[in-house]
Amino acid sequence: MLELLRQPWPWYVAGPLIGLTVPALLLAGNKALGISSSLRHICAACLPAGIPFLQYNWRKEVWNLWFVLGIGLGGFIGYRVLGHPDTIAISTETVRDLKAQMGLTDFSGLLPKELFALENLTNWKGWVFLVLGGFLVGFGTRYAGGCTSGHAISGLSNLQWVSLVAVIGFFVGGLLMTWVFYPLLF
């Protein structure tokens, strides 16, 4: 059993379990699955700076901060306690393309160290991948009114056409970066 839990979980196990989080949060206390709101609550709690969008009672939304704290703990348990294969078994085509197009050689870990190691903050790579990337995620998700969990999972589950627009936007942005901007950067 433990050995089975250590292995990567297939999509047909993980996907339905992620889907069940939607009714679990509703039944637990009328909460809609959404993670990026936590970023707004943290801003409102730590640095409201008189900004109208950050003037609200974030304490009423504190459940969301407990939820993301749990996600961090879940990452720790999943990766460190249960353990996980060091190299993610991605398709051979992706490995080939990333080698050829981005010059990556080290395929170990959850993300490429050649791009995301903290030492990279001394060159353009770290600033693009860690700082610009993170900034766009935080800026874009609030501008769009949700992220992958709030729009793609929660919103589409509830047949919200607004969420479909957002998810199409997510993919347009992701495809632009992968197919247009990455080839210009590397």
Partner 1 sequence: MKNLKYLVLGVLFGLILTKSEVVSWWRIQEMFRFQSFHMYGVIGSAILVGLISIQLIKRNRLKTINGEEIKIADKQYTHGTWIGGILFGLGWAITGACPGPMFAQLGSGVAGAAVMLLAALAGTWTYSALREKLPH
Alpha helices in 103-160 (DSSP H): 113-116, 124-126, 133-144, 156-157
Please give the structure tokens belonging to residue 105: 């050689």
Nearer to partner 1, 24 or 123 (CB): 24
Least distance CB 3 / partner 1 (angstroms): 13
Specify the amino acid at residue 170: F
Closer Cβ to partner 1, 103 or 117, answer by number: 117
Closest contact distance (angstroms) between CB of 70 and partner 1 is 2
Is residue 103 within 8 Å of 186, Cβ to Cβ?
A: yes
DSSP 50: T
Minimum Å distance from CB 138 to partner 1? 3
Q: How far is the CB of 98 from partner 1 (least distance, A)?
A: 7
Contacts of 61 (CB under 8 A, 6+ apart): 37, 41
- Helix crossing, 62-76 with 37-46: angle to 10°? 110
CA distance 110 to 61: 30
Residue 158 DSSP symbol: T
CB of 127 to partner 1, least distance (A): 10
Nearer to partner 1 among residue 10 and residue 103 (C-beta): 10
**Residue with Cβ nearer partner 1 (12 or 57):** 12
Residues 131, 109: contact at Cβ < 8 Å?
A: no
